[in-house]
Structure 1
């Protein structure tokens, strides 16, 4: 039985699962910093997931299927996640960075795009990391199943993308979460903070996250130091973070209520991933069983 968002948010192990997930994502950033940073805002997450779903759904028998500007714009603008110009700029950047390529004749209209190998690998790895985080909660084998049966990915990713996009709770994060996630590279910063939370050191509804070196973090994530310091100041004003020493302003607390708020938001997406995985795995197993039955019947025929 797949986890619900409520079950995940209430699970005492969920924060640890999010920390493990954040560390996985940090490792992927270290491997492919340009790609990871490019997708490290919630708007670009939505755009990239929708674009990759269209790529996987391409059907040669359907002339206008696959990833095209028009089809991506239809999905994204319907949910008010981005403007038409943002979609166009997003695709132009994907081509410029060689994360996607134009399929077939460039003069053909509408132009269709295909994901590059590095993008497909990153998307697959992201899905494995999500499933591994869920496995950490119940000792499951979702991640191993996907690795062993990569054909599941084509069933899972488009549904995760579409259901996530259709879910307003995920598409529109609560204001304090959005303060981080709607900013460029904000997802990387949030993962870094979550990774640093010391769960065993809660004091007065706050968790120690140690010393935060804005200069170093900005350098690591290729951000403006001024931009990052402004974000931290706003997070402190909104009671997401607190200085441990108002005079020195070096070490920080991460407030428990903000952590709970972030967990509730992440739980929405993880519940979608779990539900889609369960459905896709069941479908694949049923198809395999049906095929085996047909083979056995054929062997038994006179």
Structure 2
């Protein structure tokens, strides 16, 4: 996996700092609903399943920076498609388009944006444009698999929202996902790219999101919480018994995972119920709440976009 992080993406552009964010009370209200824990398990488990179904491509979603770059790339494609004549023009993206967008949002340097653009093509996130004239040389479009995975990503989030309030967003989305995706994703991506709380998460998220597969590691720990054992001393036991088990499930090296778990352990986010690295791993209530609030912010963003569409 490639870690693209070399840029202070926590430095928001001026325009982004003025964007609205979900009120803290609204986030807390969602996160404290009785059914939210089940919604959280649905999300975490679905993210792991998505990775297992296409590990080569989803490796591009491994860090906070690369996830935002993925959202930005596909949103730019939909925006360009919206300005094209559907009958005579096919939209396409160039690496220059993408680099300018990455710089505009403070996501990456030119070199990092170019590297990500190349990796996206190599890993199947994008395909070469069908057109071969000079203007379109090097142009790309999102692959069919990417669009299918994005539709699934929205479906899972809408299922989570429906689980919380017994709504029908997922059914309505699936009925017209192809049309709706083009309208909703630029709106959602803009909100994700400009929301300070999404881009600048808490200390545990920072530890995990600045290295390869960090987000997936958090998903795996949340999905593995032992629901049979109640919270004790502010700790949630998980079904993870060894570092090797965790590393193997995500195709990572044991050394790599051990190093990052040790960093989280130093600030009290995780720990071992017995011998370090050889017993059930626990996560702190603070870790759980930080993850939960991040997902709640994202769900509110998607819900607002859904209602607007």
Q: The TM-score by the shorter chain falls in which range?
A: 0.7 to 0.9
- Aligned residue for 2:239, secondary structure, equals strand
Distance change >3 Å, CA 246–CA 218, structure 1 → 2: closer
RMSD, matched Cα: 2.4
Residue 149 of structure 1 corresponds to 176
- 1:154-192 deviation line (CA, Å, top 9, x unaligned): 111111111110111101222211111221111111110
Distance in 2, Cα, partners of 1:178 & 1:66: 33
**Conserved 8 A contact 2:120-2:126:** yes
- 1:205-259 deviation line (CA, Å, top 9, x unaligned): 1111134322232223221210100111111111111221256741122111221
- Aligned residue for 1:210, secondary structure, equals coil
Alignment gaps of 5+ in structure 2: 1-21
Is 1:186 equivalent to 2:214 in the alignment? yes
- 1:55-80 deviation line (CA, Å, top 9, x unaligned): 11223259997533233223322332
Give the superposition deviation at 1:38. 2.3
Residue 253 of structure 1 corresponds to 282
- Aligned residue for 1:261, secondary structure, equals helix
Give the superposition deviation at 1:265. 1.9
Distance in 2, Cα, partners of 1:66 & 1:227: 37
Distance in 1, Cα, partners of 2:191 & 2:99: 17
Distance in 1, Cα, partners of 2:306 & 2:84: 26
Equivalent residue pairs, number: 279
What is the 5 A alignment of 1:125-144?
Answer: 125-144=152-171
Alignment gaps of 5+ in structure 1: 281-302
Aligned residue among 167, 181, 186 for 2:195: 167
What is the 5 A alignment of 1:153-232?
Answer: 153-199=181-227, 200-232=229-261
User: Which has the higher mean CA deviation after the structures are superposed, 166-175 or 56-65?
Assistant: 56-65
Residue 238 of structure 1 corresponds to 267
Give the superposition deviation at 1:106. 6.4
Q: Which is higher, the Rg of structure 1 or of structure 2?
A: 1
What is the 5 A alignment of 1:65-80?
Answer: 67-80=93-106
Distance in 2, Cα, partners of 1:239 & 1:247: 14
Distance change >3 Å, CA 133–CA 256, structure 1 → 2: same
Residue 279 of structure 1 corresponds to 308
Distance in 2, Cα, partners of 1:96 & 1:167: 30
User: Which has the higher mean CA deviation after the structures are superposed, 195-204 or 221-230?
Assistant: 195-204
Distance change >3 Å, CA 115–CA 257, structure 1 → 2: same
Under a length normalisation based on structure 1, what TM-score does the superposition of the two structures give? 0.85
Distance change >3 Å, CA 67–CA 8, structure 1 → 2: farther
**Conserved 8 A contact 1:55-1:113:** no
Distance in 2, Cα, partners of 1:66 & 1:275: 28
**Conserved 8 A contact 2:62-2:215:** yes
- Aligned residue for 2:170, secondary structure, equals helix
Under a length normalisation based on structure 2, what TM-score does the superposition of the two structures give? 0.83
